Amino acid sequence: MGSRVKLSFGGREVVATVVEDRGNIGVGGRRLLRVRVELTGGAEPIEFEVPATDVRAAA
Amino acid sequence: MPSAALGQWQTTSHNALAEIEAAHRAVGGHGRGRRYATLQINHAYTVMVSSRFQGFCRALHSAAVDVLATATQPANVAVVLRSALMQGRKLDFGNPSPSNLGADFGRLGMAFWDEVRALDARNDARKDRLEELNEWRNAIAHQDFARVGGRDLLHLGSVRGWRAACDALAISFDRAVGMHLGRLVGRAPW
């Protein structure tokens, strides 16, 4: 938890924080991660879940 | 075949709840001392049934969103769909109350409780028991028993009844959500 990852969101690449490992509950038993994406302009961050295969480690 | 969420409810959660049952049986002695100890276990059992059932419902919702997003193209739209369906999800913060369940699964386009009721007429009574479970969960968590009759007295049979209702509802939820997703994406999701 707390890992920084990159993923595609809104047609651009963003850096997100992994806030929860949801386990192997996705399609075909794939692993889902809950990530938090900080938005610009003072907006509240958003959280959602993505397959672990859709993110990669941020430098 | 059930969802992974139902599989976890029927294995991991059942095992954890069985340990609470074992703790209840293990309390020795007689009289007031035993009654006080078992009351505390019954309270803990109630909170645990509610929280474990919340975990099941949340996992089922996550799995459903994953099915919908996987069926959505292009991928750029799918990830936006994921965020839209999960932002402010009530099950992330609140009890698995009938109202919260209806709102979160309703966001997937389901008439949730209508579809659950259509599978088994007994689910109406189980829905009432789920509401009662959550009222007791809140009463215990906040140590405010006004909404449950003003007393903290709770018998093991009541907790077992709520758990049985959750067991049956879990199977119906899994089926109802699976059937709904099947209609949307054109194939059985699990």
* Cα–Cα nearest to B85, from B104, B113, B58: B104
A20 pLDDT tier (thresholds 50, 70, 90): very high
Mutation choice for B interface testing from A8, A9, A22, A27 by most B CBs within 10 A: A27
State phi, psi for B4 to the nearest 5 degrees.
-65, -30
Question: What is the pLDDT at residue B156?
Answer: 95
Question: What is the pLDDT at residue B30?
Answer: 72
Question: What is the pLDDT at residue A37?
Answer: 95
Q: Please list the helix, strand and coil fractions of chain B in percent, rounded to the nearest 5, in that order.
A: 80, 0, 20
Q: Which residues in chain A are closer than 8 Å to B185, comparing Cβ atoms? A: none
Question: What is the pLDDT at residue A22?
Answer: 97
Question: What is the pLDDT at residue A29?
Answer: 94
A42 pLDDT tier (thresholds 50, 70, 90): confident
Reported ipTM: the value is 0.95
Question: What is the pLDDT at residue B37?
Answer: 87
Closest residue to B65, CB basis, from A24, A49, A54: A49
CB contact residues (below 8 A), chain A span 13-32, against chain B? 22-27, 29-30, 32
Question: What is the pLDDT at residue B154?
Answer: 95
pLDDT in tens, chain B (190 residues): 899 999 999 999 999 999 999 998 888 667 777 888 899 999 999 999 999 999 999 999 999 999 999 999 999 999 999 999 999 999 999 999 999 999 999 999 999 999 999 999 999 999 999 999 999 999 999 999 999 999 999 999 999 999 999 999 999 999 999 999 999 999 999 9
Residue B14 C-alpha, separation from nearest chain A C-alpha, in angstroms: 17
State phi, psi for B144 to the nearest 5 degrees.
-135, 105
Per-domain residue ranges of chain B: 4-185
Establish if A11 touches chain B: CB-CB under 8 angstroms. Answer: yes
H/E element, A14: strand A12-23
Spatial contact of A47 and B86, defined as CB atoms under 8 Å apart: yes
Residue B91, C-beta contacts closer than 8 angstroms, at least 6 positions apart: B54, B57, B58, B61, B100, B101, B104
Question: What is the pLDDT at residue A1?
Answer: 80
d(CA B56, CA B91): 10
Question: What is the pLDDT at residue B31?
Answer: 77
Question: Strands across the sheet with A46-51, in order?
Answer: A46-51, A32-37, A12-23, A4-9, A56-57
Q: Given a cut of 90, is residue A6 above it in pLDDT?
A: yes
State phi, psi for A5 to the nearest 5 degrees.
-130, 160
Question: What is the pLDDT at residue B103?
Answer: 98
Q: List the single residue in B with minimal CA-CA distance to A11.
A: B76
Q: Which amino acid is at B43?
A: H
Percent of chain A with pLDDT over 90: 85
Q: Given a cut of 80, is residue A47 above it in pLDDT?
A: yes
Percent of chain A with pLDDT over 70: 100
| Mean pLDDT of the A46-59 span | 94
Question: What is the pLDDT at residue B180?
Answer: 98
B2 upstream amide cis, omega within 30 of 0: no
